[in-house]
Structure 1
Amino acid sequence: MANMTSPEHVMSTNTVPILSLRSISKSFGAVQALTNVDLDIHNGEVVAIVGDNGAGKSTLVKVLAGVHSPDSGTISFDRQLVRIPSPAASRGLGIATVFQDLALCDNLDVVSNLFLGNELGSLALDEVEMEKRSSLLLRQLSAKIPSLRTVVAALSGGQRQTVAIARSLIGDPKIVILDEPTAALGVAQTAEVLNLVERLRERGHGVILISHNMADVQAVADRIIVLRLGRNNGEFRVGDVSYEDIVAAITGASDNVVTRRAGTRSGEEPKP
């Protein structure tokens, strides 16, 4: 089995994380959603967060997106301790979140969706400049969009995901969070989105990828963080871990192995 260690020791890099979470906990009444969760994200890397339903993935995303405030723990962004009390605060820091529902306006075209809420022009909309910037951004992302003036309702699932991700880049964020970006997509559309994730890494963004699809995770992620029952339950470099190792950490099948190894090191007789 691959070695599971704490987040502080997995990254063999001299760079300082752009985002660092320490001992983040969050409860909803009697339900403890997160317990002492740690997470580091560096510029130009893709970190996948995986786990079963109820593992705490969505709660962690919403903490970073400013939807929920943690009960305890610290968040550092760009070497500064910060609070994220609202979605506006999250965006202001430089964290862009693309939720699974995408929140696109189907009756508007691609350009209008990209600049929705961030329109250019004081007295009148500068349609020419918005179209110019949209074209440049989509070219940089190698996006396959038939026309900037196509209404979003006419786009495929992969193209809609592309528009949502491109829209998140309008404010030039340092961190992009993608919540199940390939869910319900076909093979070709999934490949399109995964290529887009590669472009985000090349642009220097730190990417947090939430996914249940291990093939997608292993295709694009640099590191994998496993959450189980709201806690860290393993951190792996993708090149050093097998599919079976990841599943074992997700399901808890690795827990007894870790316990036996710890007992052996301390001189205790391993339990069957």
Structure 2
Amino acid sequence: MTAEESTPLLSLRNVRKSFGPIEVLHGIDLDIKAGEVVALLGENGAGKSTVSNIISGTILPSSGEMKWQGAVFAPASPREAIDAGVGMIHQELLLLPHLSIAENLFVGRYPKKAGVVDRKTMEQRAHAGLQRLGLDISPRRLVQGLSTANQQLIEIAKALTLNARLLILDEPTAALGGDETIKLFEQIERLKQDGVGIIYISHRLEEIKQIADRIVVMRDGSKVQEFENADVPVRTIVEAMVGRSLERMFPPIPSPQDRTVLEVRDLSSGLGSFTGINFDVARGEILGIAGLVGAGRTELARAIVGVDPVSKGQVLLDGKDISPRKPRDAIRNGIVLVPEDRKQQGLVLPHSIAENFAYANMNQVARKGWVTRKRARAFADGGILKFGVKGQSHQNADELSGGNQQKVVIAKWLARNPRVVVLDEPTRGIDVGARSSIYDIIVGLAREGVSVIVISSDLEEVLGVSNRVMVMAQGKLSGILNRGEANDVSVMELATM
């Protein structure tokens, strides 16, 4: 082995970071070699994002040393890191909705000809980048209106156009279905063969075993364990992440009552995303909805609560047609939606937890049309305590971890004592500890007699929390399975019909 081959692409030695008097990273050592995938794992708040932001030049370390291909590496900005060959794909989508896909892929570095943007070249290169990921969309199309999954793939394509030597992928499959994930993994294998090093951050531990060469586990700002290969039981990884032994992931599921609460009859989307959907949910039942990305699951949820229009069909509550024309109709009838994108649709991030609670519960918080800060905070404090939110009512929502943000979204709607709760991707992008808490909340609702619908791209999750699993494929209902007959194979057979 030559000296060049033995030298890590990137090395971190005793890297520390403090915000004020609080040290959040404690002496991190990390090596990334060319052509390998290193999974960086840990609960939210473990320090993964801080390490990634230091490597990508977003923040500066307080002390320690980094080396890039053997030379001192100290990027003072993301541009310096990109110029060196480091690209980062953030979990939070950073696309500009009013620009085209091609413009987003090359923003800040548009190809030019005779001093002006060479749109033909830009769109040809964008098309090639999209095709590498199997994305059949015109590069001239605006990003606005694209699905979350497609936006995530565009973020990935954007990083790939940088021809980076090191890629940091932060939850790259959080919004992707099975087919998109397979295409991404194929691309990662090609990048490995080209000598690209990859730091892969994900809470989907089963996919880590498929894609990673090594696993590094962080907890509370420290590197606590490193596995030299990915052939490690998931339970062992989880126990390293949380620092304790896990006896279970999913709580016991209660049996539903005989009484039907929600019925959906021959419902078809006014936007053409699904057609002829029929199902019902009993009191205290958890109905899981599975399917590949593009199957129409999210669009169905949005139609049930009046966000998206329907062309025909009915939504019945206790046998009465209450088909919502707008979200307010559903909310008044006791049907609430926890949306798939908590940051864009579930919270007003720059506002406090108390304000976010108040927006969903004005009838309980406002007196004679007035909302006082004291009353709003007292109301939010109840939800914070009940659902174990790690935060205070005066804190802004954007100061919380992903898991705690999700708890706030759920808690503010449950404060209305709804009869039906629809949760779309309830644990997307949150750590295993917060996931367990949310599963407890879901099962607790069922025990209280609430009808719950859980939509998830995580098949293990759907199987783990559901009394029955409804499977959608290409906008149609392809089958409903009882808990005893639902498994990976039976669900995927229906999902690919």
TM-score, with normalisation over the residues of structure 2? 0.46
Matched, 1:137 2:129: yes
- The worse-fitting range, judged by mean Cα deviation, of 173-182 and 239-248 is 239-248
Q: Which amino acid aligns with 1:203?
A: D
Give the match for residue 169 of structure 1.
Answer: 160
Give the match for residue 222 of structure 1.
Answer: 213
Instruction: Determine the C-alpha separation between the residues in 1 that align with 2:136 and 2:194.
Output: 20
Q: Which amino acid aligns with 2:169?
A: L
Q: Pairwise mapping of residues 236-255 of structure 1 onto structure 2 (< 5 A)?
A: 236-253=227-244
Q: Secondary structure at the match of 2:116?
A: coil
- The worse-fitting range, judged by mean Cα deviation, of 117-126 and 70-79 is 117-126
Instruction: Determine the C-alpha separation between the residues in 1 that align with 2:142 and 2:188.
Output: 23
CA change 1:195–1:159 in 2 (3 A) is: farther
Deviation at 1:204, TM superposition (A): 2.6
Please tell me whether the aligned partners of residues 24 and 72 of structure 1 are also in contact (alpha carbons under 8 angstroms): yes
For structure 2, the 5+ residue unaligned runs are 246-497
Q: Secondary structure at the match of 1:153?
A: coil
37, 40, 53: which is aligned to 2:28? 37
CA change 1:15–1:159 in 2 (3 A) is: farther
74, 78, 82: which is aligned to 2:69? 78
Q: Which amino acid aligns with 2:221?
A: G
Q: Secondary structure at the match of 1:165?
A: helix
How many residue pairs end up in the alignment? Answer: 241
- C-alpha offsets along residues 88-119 of structure 1, whole Å, 9 cap, x if unaligned? 22112111111122211222222111111111
Q: Secondary structure at the match of 2:104?
A: helix
Deviation at 1:192, TM superposition (A): 4.0
Q: Pairwise mapping of residues 43-54 of structure 1 onto structure 2 (< 5 A)?
A: 43-54=34-45
80, 83, 86: which is aligned to 1:89? 80
Q: Secondary structure at the match of 1:48?
A: strand
Give the match for residue 293 of structure 2.
Answer: none
Q: Pairwise mapping of residues 189-204 of structure 1 onto structure 2 (< 5 A)?
A: 189-204=180-195
- C-alpha offsets along residues 50-109 of structure 1, whole Å, 9 cap, x if unaligned? 001211111111111212211111100011012122222211211111112221122222
196, 201, 214: which is aligned to 1:210? 201
Higher relative contact order (CA 8 A, sep 6+): 1
Please tell me whether the aligned partners of residues 110 and 152 of structure 1 are also in contact (alpha carbons under 8 angstroms): yes
- The worse-fitting range, judged by mean Cα deviation, of 180-189 and 44-53 is 180-189
CA radius of gyration, larger in: 2
Matched, 1:119 2:110: yes
Instruction: Determine the C-alpha separation between the residues in 2 that align with 1:132 and 1:177.
Output: 26
CA change 1:185–1:138 in 2 (3 A) is: closer
- The worse-fitting range, judged by mean Cα deviation, of 89-98 and 127-136 is 127-136
- The worse-fitting range, judged by mean Cα deviation, of 22-31 and 238-247 is 238-247
Runs of 4+ deviating beyond 4 Å: none
Give the match for residue 174 of structure 2.
Answer: 183
Q: Secondary structure at the match of 1:240?
A: coil
For structure 1, the 5+ residue unaligned runs are 1-12, 255-272
- C-alpha offsets along residues 4-33 of structure 1, whole Å, 9 cap, x if unaligned? xxxxxxxxx963211010111111123221
Give the match for residue 159 of structure 1.
Answer: 150
Computed over aligned residues only, the root mean square deviation of the Cα atoms, in angstroms, reads: 2.1
TM-score, with normalisation over the residues of structure 1? 0.81
Please tell me whether the aligned partners of residues 75 and 83 of structure 1 are also in contact (alpha carbons under 8 angstroms): yes
